[in-house]
A = this chain, B = another copy of it.
Amino acid sequence: MYKIETIDGGVCAAEGFYADGVSAGLKADGAKDVAFIYSDTRCEIASVFTTNKMTAAPIRHFRRYGMFESNFILINAKNANAMTGDAGIDDIDEVLATASARFETIYNPIMSSTGVIGVPLPKEKIKVGIRKFNLRVTNSNAAAKAIMTTDRFEKQTAVRVTLEDGSSFHIGAIAKGAGMINPAMATMLCFITTDAAADAGVLQDTLNDVVTRTFNAISVDGDTSTNDTVLLLCNKKSGMYHETAFKEALEQVMLYLAKLMTQDGEGATKLVTYDITGALNDAEAEIAAKALSNSLLMKTALFGEDPNWGRVASTIGASGVTCNESALRIAFDDVCVYDRGVIYFDASMEARASEVMRRSAFTIACDLGLGTGHFKAYGCDLGYEYIKINADYRT
Count A-side interface residues using an 8 Å CB cutoff. Answer: 68
Judged by DSSP, the binding face of A is: loop
Chain B residues with CB under 8 Å of A184's CB are 318
Question: Which residues, 165 to 194 on A, are CB-close (under 8 Å) to B?
Answer: 179-180, 182, 184
Q: Give the interface segment out of A49-57, A91-99, A137-145, A198-206.
A: A49-57
Separation of A180 and B295 alpha carbons in the complex (Å) = 10
Q: Are A391 and B338 in contact (CB under 8 A)?
A: no
Most B-side CB within 10 Å, residue of A296, A304, A315, A328: A296
Chain B residues with CB under 8 Å of A314's CB are 52, 54, 82-83, 117, 223-226
A394 CB–B CB distance under 8 Å: yes
Q: Are A391 and B300 in contact (CB under 8 A)?
A: yes
A393 CB–B CB distance under 8 Å: yes
A257 CB–B CB distance under 8 Å: no
When C-beta atoms are compared, the residue in chain B nearest to A323 turns out to be: B53
Q: Are B297 and A221 in contact (CB under 8 A)?
A: yes
Separation of A75 and B118 alpha carbons in the complex (Å) = 50
Q: Are B300 and A390 in contact (CB under 8 A)?
A: yes
A85 CB–B CB distance under 8 Å: yes
Q: Are B221 and A311 in contact (CB under 8 A)?
A: no
Q: How far apart are A85's CB and chain B's nearest CB, in angstroms?
A: 5
Q: Are A345 and B118 in contact (CB under 8 A)?
A: yes
Q: Are A390 and B304 in contact (CB under 8 A)?
A: yes
- Interface of A with B (CB < 8 Å)? 50-55, 80, 82-85, 116-120, 179-180, 182, 184, 221-226, 294-297, 300-301, 303-304, 306, 308-311, 313-318, 320-326, 328, 338, 341, 343, 345, 382-384, 386-387, 390-395
